[in-house]
Structure 1
């Protein structure tokens, strides 16, 4: 079960990435629902700096894990990040850019819109 697919701007949630395939539901969108405890709702454009921070904090997103069908992320890939990890990266000065139209509105439970807008790659 998933929440309504609405973005932080109030419109329909756009696809974040299908290559690599992202999202808690692995549908290419940053959809969320009750089962998504990590709230994977921020559509982010990966950077080397963010990937290094994430690895340092214990979530290695860059190393391939073929046993899970995960090829590993590289700079330029789009990925649905946990809202709290995005906010932590913002606090550390290493937040990646985001696509607001592909970022789920539930992100606003954790990250203020004003912060997301600072990193927006899409026009507001």
Structure 2
């Protein structure tokens, strides 16, 4: 993926999409960012994963704990920042087990399926411009 494409994508607050996580390196493209790119990847939500979120995801068939080295996936531990598939985050949200999220690193395409007010309730970052928090 062209690095210029990353700078064209925006976050849910309307600003430049910030990196989600370098350790482990996240993103569909393993570029540390929750970019969609030309593949329209759905790894849009920059989650700070919790033990409850990881356990829930494992229980519904999305094992984010077990490493899969051949795909560059190290396995996650509570506290890791990871670009998760929007539908999977919503699945945990509906079960009352959603993880906190980093708004500045969550792709604006997430707003296609979820309201900003819902995302704000799980925000762990504080934007420079506090007026966006309403």
TM-score by length of 1: 0.92
Alignment length (residue pairs): 123
Q: Distance in 2 between matches of 1:84 and 1:114?
A: 17
Unaligned runs of 5+ in 1: none
SS of residue paired to 2:46: strand
User: 2:83: which partner in 1?
Assistant: 80
SS of residue paired to 1:41: strand
Q: Distance in 2 between matches of 1:66 and 1:30?
A: 20
CA drift at 1:10: 0.3
TM-score by length of 2: 0.86
CA drift at 1:40: 0.5
User: 1:120: which partner in 2?
Assistant: 123
Q: Distance in 2 between matches of 1:83 and 1:67?
A: 23
Counterpart among 8, 12, 16 of residue 12 in structure 1: 16
* Structure with a larger share of its residues in helix: 2
User: 1:46: which partner in 2?
Assistant: 49
CA drift at 1:69: 2.6
After TM superposition, what 4+ stretches of structure 1 lie above 4 angstroms from structure 2?
none
CA drift at 1:34: 4.2
CA-to-partner distance for each residue in 1:84-117, whole Å, 9 max, x for gaps? 1111111100000000000000000111111100
CA drift at 1:25: 1.3
CA drift at 1:5: 1.7
Instruction: Tell me the C-alpha RMSD between the 2 structures.
Output: 1.5
Determine which structure has more spread, i.e. the larger CA radius of gyration.
2
Q: Distance in 1 between matches of 2:123 and 2:66?
A: 26
